[in-house]
Amino acid sequence: MSKAIVSSLYDSDVFRMACRQFDKAADAINLPEAIRDRTKYPRRCLAVSLPVRRTDGSVTVFEGYRVQHNLSTGPSKGGIRFHQSVTLGEVAALAMWMSWKTSLVGLPYGGAKGGVIVDPNQLSQAELEHLSRRYMQEMVSFLGPHTDVPAPDVGTNERIMGWMMDTYSNHVGHLSPAVVTGKPLSLGGSQGRREATGAGVAYLVKKYLEDLKIPINKATVVIQGFGNVGSETALALVGYGAKIIAISDYTGGIHNAKGIDVQKALTYISSQRVLKDFGGGEHITNEDLLELKCTVLAPAALERVITDKNAHKLKCRLLAEAANGPTTNAADKIIEARGDIELIPDVLCNSGGVIVSYFEWLQNLSSFYWGRDEVMEKLYGILDKAKASVDAQKKKFGFSRRLAALTLGIQRVADAKAARGLFP
Ligand code: GLU
């Protein structure tokens, strides 16, 4: 009999949501008590203060975190989020999901996540660089190419990964590209990494539409969130022939039943930073956008946007979780009971990002670089295999697709922990 004695360190709605998902999956596979809590709770975390000198000469102290959920199956892996609503509990939940995601798709990693409470849009480039470097400096002894390997997430990008890699390399005294992924190509980044998450989402959407016998050129798509993941998903789906009828960012959304010119929206964002006043359709709120009638709905921003308030109002055929944790457990239940929506769960749907991060890490460790076609072919191969295993698990046990994905991910981590034993 095992019983966890834990504090409220991570306690939050989103951490409780991730824990409940775990409990349900652990029950479904009869995970032995002795291994449950070891598999469930994060291994360790670090919280740091990050003083940054501002352009006006003043100093602001930001707070940052890194949570390493599981290190039993390899170095932990996961992005770093810069967002004003980051909390330790959120980072812990995201780290937990990274464990199941890397495990599900068969990568030799554990799960981790980092975060800083900051709105990066409020910082100058110099301030952003100081903050990024300071974060890495505080983390030098906590992570590394064989310990924990960060990557971009909401609010971070290639340039930030480049600064972090440079900071780490200066500390250890030699170039160490494998310490972070999602770097610029000039610093050992991989072909295809920037678009990998969105390309993976779009590829899986295409495959599931094929299963549903819906021609992709007849599919209408709504995307909530137009950052790296949302915009790359949109571009890739347009490439497959789908019509994007609504997009949004935190300033609101645009709806156009005739189709949105995604390339034009991206050009607009590159100069204006936000979608506000883009035109190209009528304005719509983020809430209303989620309830639009469409073939595919892809939440591609933050957690917990599909809730018990709107789950029964969704009018999509396929719900593609491009974001991590976009659907609450209560909403999940409603969607399952409705039975008219196919769901591609986050740990499968957005795994393209970390898969190509793995390729980047391999290329860095071997100093041998691959072409884009090779990267994309290998990415799609892994996604095909993961999709097949999730759907087989779903069929075999009569699980929902989320439960199928989570049980597969959790089982492998639990097996590895059991096989390694418990250090006395
Ligand atoms: N932040 C991404 C995710 O949530 C990518 C992580 C990575 O590439 O390590 O999966």
Which of 197, 204, 351, when mutated, tests ligand 1's pocket best, judged by the most ligand atoms within 8 Å of its CB?
Answer: 197
User: Does any ligand 1 atom lie closer than 6 A to the CB of residue 166?
Assistant: no
53 inside domain? yes
User: Does any ligand 1 atom lie closer than 6 A to the CB of residue 153?
Assistant: yes
Domain that holds residue 152: 41-176
The rounded Å distance from CA 41 to ligand 1 centre is 20
Mean local confidence (pLDDT), 99-128: 98
User: Does any ligand 1 atom lie closer than 6 A to the CB of residue 354?
Assistant: yes
- Nearest-atom index, ligand 1, CA of 78: 9
Q: What pLDDT, on a 0 to 100 scale, did the predictor assign at position 2?
A: 64
Last residue of a domain, one of 344, 376, 393: 344
The answer on 83 and 125 residing in a single domain is: yes
257 inside domain? yes
The answer on 148 and 120 residing in a single domain is: yes
The answer on 331 and 233 residing in a single domain is: yes
Which of 96, 354, 356, 379, when mutated, tests ligand 1's pocket best, judged by the most ligand atoms within 8 Å of its CB?
Answer: 354
The rounded Å distance from CA 213 to ligand 1 centre is 31
- Nearest-atom index, ligand 1, CA of 150: 9
Mean local confidence (pLDDT), 383-388: 98
Which of 91, 357, 379, when mutated, tests ligand 1's pocket best, judged by the most ligand atoms within 8 Å of its CB?
Answer: 357
The answer on 227 and 105 residing in a single domain is: no
The answer on 116 and 148 residing in a single domain is: yes
Give 205-240 pLDDT, tens digit per residue: 999 999 999 999 999 999 999 999 999 999 999 999
Residue closest via CA to ligand 1's atom 8 equals: 354
Last residue of a domain, one of 344, 373, 403: 344
User: Does any ligand 1 atom lie closer than 6 A to the CB of residue 357?
Assistant: yes
The answer on 333 and 203 residing in a single domain is: yes
223 inside domain? yes
Considering the candidates 113, 183, 206, 394, report the single residue annotated as catalytic: 113
The answer on 210 and 156 residing in a single domain is: no
The rounded Å distance from CA 18 to ligand 1 centre is 17
The answer on 166 and 209 residing in a single domain is: no
Question: Where residue 331 sits, what CATH number does that domain have?
Answer: 3.40.50.720
Q: Is the pLDDT of residue 125 over 90?
A: yes
Q: Is the pLDDT of residue 1 over 60?
A: no
Question: Where residue 167 sits, what CATH number does that domain have?
Answer: 3.40.50.10860
Give 25-80 pLDDT, tens digit per residue: 999 999 999 899 999 999 999 999 999 999 999 999 999 999 999 999 999 999 99
351 inside domain? no
164 inside domain? yes
The answer on 280 and 158 residing in a single domain is: no
Q: For the chain, give the mean pLDDT.
A: 97
Q: What pLDDT, on a 0 to 100 scale, did the predictor assign at position 198?
A: 98
Does the active-site annotation cover 206? no
Last residue of a domain, one of 303, 323, 344: 344
The rounded Å distance from CA 353 to ligand 1 centre is 6
User: Does any ligand 1 atom lie closer than 6 A to the CB of residue 299?
Assistant: no
User: Does any ligand 1 atom lie closer than 6 A to the CB of residue 77?
Assistant: yes
- Nearest-atom index, ligand 1, CA of 113: 1
410 inside domain? no
User: Does any ligand 1 atom lie closer than 6 A to the CB of residue 195?
Assistant: no
Residue closest via CA to ligand 1's atom 9 equals: 78
Mean local confidence (pLDDT), 250-255: 96
Q: How many domains does the chain have?
A: 2
The rounded Å distance from CA 76 to ligand 1 centre is 11
Its sign, for the CA torsion 84, 266, 123, 158, is positive
Mean local confidence (pLDDT), 241-264: 97
Report the 3 state secondary structure along the chain.
CCCCCCCCCCCCHHHHHHHHHHHHHHHHCCCCHHHHHHHHCCCEEEEEEEEEECCCCCEEEEEEEEEECCCCCCCEEEEEEEECCCCHHHHHHHHHHHHHHHHHCCCCCEEEEEEEECCHHHCCHHHHHHHHHHHHHHHCCCCECCCEEEEECCCCCHHHHHHHHHHHHHHHCCCCHHHCCCCCHHHCCCCCHHHHHHHHHHHHHHHHHHHCCCCHHHCEEEEECCCHHHHHHHHHHHHHCCEEEEEEECCEEEECCCCCCHHHHHHHHHHHCCCCCCCCCEEECHHHHHCCECCEEEECCCCCCECCCCHHHCECCEEECCCCCCECHHHHHHHHHHCCCEEECHHHHCCHHHHHHHHHHHHHHHCCCCCHHHHHHHHHHHHHHHHHHHHHHHHHHCCCHHHHHHHHHHHHHHHHHHHHCCCC
Q: What pLDDT, on a 0 to 100 scale, did the predictor assign at position 3?
A: 80
232 inside domain? yes
% of the chain exceeding 90 in pLDDT: 97
The answer on 207 and 171 residing in a single domain is: no
Give 133-154 pLDDT, tens digit per residue: 999 999 999 999 999 999 999 9
The answer on 156 and 212 residing in a single domain is: no
Give 166-184 pLDDT, tens digit per residue: 999 999 999 999 999 999 9
The rounded Å distance from CA 215 to ligand 1 centre is 30
User: Does any ligand 1 atom lie closer than 6 A to the CB of residue 21?
Assistant: no
User: Does any ligand 1 atom lie closer than 6 A to the CB of residue 352?
Assistant: no
171 inside domain? yes
User: Does any ligand 1 atom lie closer than 6 A to the CB of residue 409?
Assistant: no
Q: What pLDDT, on a 0 to 100 scale, did the predictor assign at position 423?
A: 79
User: Does any ligand 1 atom lie closer than 6 A to the CB of residue 324?
Assistant: yes
Give 315-348 pLDDT, tens digit per residue: 999 999 999 999 999 999 999 999 999 999 999 9
The answer on 301 and 217 residing in a single domain is: yes
